[in-house]
Structure 1
Amino acid sequence: MKLDDVTELLPESIQEIAHLIGYPAALALVTTFGGTTLAVAMAVTDKGVANFQYLAEAIGQREAEILTRHYGGDVLYIPRCYTALQELRDRELCRRFDELNAEHSANWTVQQLALHYKLADRTVWRILKRPSRLAVPEQPALF
């Protein structure tokens, strides 16, 4: 998954964080801490060092240092980024459908994808039929 493919669907706070530490680390941050409030420790006290280490394990040492320099002492809400992550999942599902469907029936492929993504087969069909959230709408003809 590449979070930078769906930048327009990300909250501004995560776009700012991604600009600082990169999209892969921002994805790790959202995956680990999404939906929670994160106290960005200064790593001065024992508790601060432990919190910093936990952050570093999730996103990387260098990235944790950058976040600490920029937000140290602050409390950040890390959004879940549900819409962006769902769009990434749906794109991956469609890509895998195209690959598998080249050698198998559509029904078999949908069943396999439903099992893999833990979705109902009807949900997989719905995903396959809907346009991307970032698709450019067609312009109506003038004549």
Structure 2
Amino acid sequence: MTDSMSGDQPLESVSMLLPLVVLELVGLIGYRETQSLVARLGGVSFPVGKNINVKTGAHRISVLSDAVSVDAANKIMARFGGETLYIPRCAAALRELRNRRFIADYYAMLAAGKSGRIALMTLCPRFGFSDRYGQRLLARKTSEQLPLF
């Protein structure tokens, strides 16, 4: 599967699928920083310290600063200090981004002169799903006119 969180498609395009805490983080630190946070720490319950002078607090700020900028880490600490912040994986949003990328790549291959069958044989293993699933995505895109990007 491709890494949708660090790819060229922003998390912003699937905001309707994001959990409330992620939307709150977006309001606090922006989409780019939130995308980085979810990519690095998604699925983790992160105890946000209030005090960075304590040994564990210093370690936490280090982990957080590895995921986002120091400014964003400070904003997270100011807002969530003393709480345990669960950082969702955003699986539904990531799956939607992956599916949109697959559909875009499929049509790009068709435009480049490849057959639909060759496109499926090439792309499905790359995206980590079966050709039948890929066919269902394409059928759904056709029937619902889903946006590519």
Unmatched 5+ residue regions in structure 2?
1-8
Separation in 1 of the partners of 2:61 and 2:144? 36
Separation in 2 of the partners of 1:122 and 1:133? 18
Choose the corresponding residue for 2:68, options 59, 65, 68.
Answer: 59
Choose the corresponding residue for 1:4, options 7, 12, 21.
Answer: 12
Pairing 1:21–2:42 present = no
CA contact (8 A) 1:114 1:121 kept: yes
Separation in 1 of the partners of 2:75 and 2:14? 23
Separation in 1 of the partners of 2:97 and 2:36? 14
CA contact (8 A) 1:36 1:78 kept: yes
> Where does residue 110 of structure 1 map in the other structure?
120
Pairing 1:90–2:102 present = no
Choose the corresponding residue for 1:127, options 124, 137, 147.
Answer: 137
The offset of 1:88, in angstroms, is 1.0
Separation in 2 of the partners of 1:109 and 1:25? 34
CA contact (8 A) 1:87 1:133 kept: no
Separation in 2 of the partners of 1:122 and 1:39? 42
- Describe the SS at the equivalent of 1:38: strand
Of residues 65-74 and 125-134 in structure 1, the stretch that sits farther from structure 2 once superposed is 125-134
The offset of 1:133, in angstroms, is 8.7
* Partner amino acid, structure 1, of 2:16: E
TM-score under structure 1 length normalisation: 0.86
- Describe the SS at the equivalent of 1:119: coil
State the Cα RMSD in Å: 2.1
Identity of aligned residues (%): 31
